[in-house]
Amino acid sequence: MINELVRKIKETNAPIVVGLDPMLSFIPEHITKKAFAEYGANLEGVSKAIIEYNKGIVDAVYDLIPAVKPQIAMYEQFGIPGLVAYQETVNYCKSKGLVVIGDIKRGDIGSTSAAYAVGHLGKVTIEGKEFRGFEEDFATVNPYLGSDGVKPFIDVCKEEKKGIFVLVKTSNPSSGEFQDQLINGKPLYEMVGEKVAAWGEELMGDSYSYVGAVVGATYPEMGKVLRKVMPKAYILVPGYGAQGGKGADLVHFFNEDGLGAIVNSSRGIIAAYKQEQYSKFGGENYAEASRQAVLDMKADIAGALENR
Amino acid sequence: MINELVRKIKETNAPIVVGLDPMLSFIPEHITKKAFAEYGANLEGVSKAIIEYNKGIVDAVYDLIPAVKPQIAMYEQFGIPGLVAYQETVNYCKSKGLVVIGDIKRGDIGSTSAAYAVGHLGKVTIEGKEFRGFEEDFATVNPYLGSDGVKPFIDVCKEEKKGIFVLVKTSNPSSGEFQDQLINGKPLYEMVGEKVAAWGEELMGDSYSYVGAVVGATYPEMGKVLRKVMPKAYILVPGYGAQGGKGADLVHFFNEDGLGAIVNSSRGIIAAYKQEQYSKFGGENYAEASRQAVLDMKADIAGALENR
């Protein structure tokens, strides 16, 4: 799947992932109105509205991008119906040929991590038949519990040819509280980065590993260091756009081959129609606004990479 | 809810939480057979079997214990039907008067953590009406992202009078890989513990804080230190029994008042009938085996606390 991701990045010439992180306030009124009329103004109705909203965006942008990254928390907040919308979104994106990165940030002790890995990337066997709970291609993983919390994901990835992105340096303002602490003169995130490189050696694709890393666009100098620490890890870069990361900040996350990083934008794409720059589209044409925002993001990143 | 937890611990005289972490292999054949016959040998059938199995255990032990801790991963591995079983388990335990600790180990950047907090401990508002996704009383939280990943949980807890347990030192063998690293001579887990104490000051119950900590029974010496670092934090202690923690190891996690810690056992209780010690009960009477295992665990911990 890492080979497939790289292939699609080259094909679309877009190291971009669209974060499908729906907030109820992002969904245009014509969609919620219709869903609430049909299913009720309740969790069920919101679930249907989210599916409709996501499909609109995916239909408008899938030819421009290699991958999407639904953030499961935004679905989980609506309970079971929300998780049904997550599952349908994952499946719909896959039917459109997109690589799906489940932003689930799971991580636990061994046997429990194995259950998460199986549920999102693998399969369970019931009376000799195989079943799949969720079917993402990649998942994000929290490293706080150490190797035996990460290894079960790697085991499932080996079997399924799927991959993970391990949280190394997150994009949020207080990420440094623990992640930047110095251990023998080296920050914790660098130590985690070294582990990511080691874990990744076990599971290499053609040029990059199935074990990638998450490093926030908001910390470009750290990205520069981490790029060298984990040369074979694809870096998933959140924090572009709404969180403050700019195209010029991103060049350090890429290797000389122009590969090695994929930049996420969520709100900036999916709620583009709410920004002044794209307001002319209006709520009815929210998906076209998203398409324009993807085109602009592609140009911003391509420009930055050319000028480095 | 922390006051309620303390009250129930005193009432039952049992600083014990039963981990409802079902594996398919734990469920006695008479339950799976019936569920598969009725719903099919599929995710749906497993979901129904889990609910039946859990209810049997809860009915047999609820009068002996203050709380349960379902591990969501064990349900999530079975996709949406599995999560329905999680939700029904949470609700059933609450109907029996048990405090429910959702072992979800979520944690993300601010707005995303807020979505998890709302989904598990709080509510969403749809067209002016309130809805709840999942309804645990407590949730476990991963601290790797720092304060702004934890604060949204605390905000929801304030509103709902609910609580969290933050991962400080986990019970697994490789937990030290990052958690034990020294920062200015002090291990990371201690630094996280200090943060837990600080976060907890914001949200105090009568004698303990709504912000607790997870510290593994497998590291009693570290538990001793952390007990002092976070005097007002309830410590949720996994790793007893199957993972190797013994009653005598646990005394350090408690305060002088005999409170301050609650010890989890999962497999050791819910799959007791599979152990030699309880094999006389057999699969049909698995719930009675669980009841005996709870009684034995209570005696083990009470004995250790008396002899300290």
Model ipTM value? 0.97
pLDDT at A55: 98
Q: Are strands B16-18 and B163-169 parallel, antiparallel or unpaired?
A: unpaired
Mean pLDDT by 10 residues, chain B (308 residues): 96 97 98 98 98 98 98 98 98 98 97 98 98 98 97 98 98 97 97 98 96 96 97 96 78 93 97 97 98 96 89
Q: Is A76 part of the contact surface with chain B (CB cutoff 8 Å)? A: yes
Secondary structure of residue A219 in the 3-state scheme: coil
Task: Render pLDDT for A142-197 as a digit per residue (tens, 0 to 9).
Answer: 999 999 999 999 999 999 999 999 999 999 999 999 999 999 999 999 999 999 99
Tokens 């997550």: give the residue: A86
End-to-end CA distance of chain B: 29
- Say how many C-beta atoms besides its own lie within 10 A of residue A280's C-beta: 11
Spans in chain A with pLDDT lower than 50: none
Task: Give residue A188's identity as a one-letter amino acid code.
Answer: L
How far, in Å, CA of A253 to CA of A225, rounded?
9
The catalytically annotated residue of B105, B123, B161, B246 is B105
pLDDT at A241: 79
How far, in Å, CA of B53 to CA of B45, rounded?
12
Measured between beta carbons, which residues in chain B are less than 8 angstroms from residue A69? none
CA distances to B110, B114, B115 from B148, in Å: 5, 10, 13
Nearest CA in chain A to B174: A146
Q: What is the enclosing helix (H) or strand (E) of B161? A: none
pLDDT at A247: 81
Using CB atoms, which residue from A79, A107, A127 is nearest to B133? A79
Partner residues linked to A263 by β-bridges = A16, A237
Task: Give residue B199's identity as a one-letter amino acid code.
Answer: W
Whole-model pTM: value is: 0.97
End-to-end CA distance of chain A: 29
Structure tokens at B190: 């201690």
Interface contacts (A, B; CB < 8 Å): 212
Measured between beta carbons, which residues in chain A are less than 8 angstroms from residue B42? 126, 129, 131
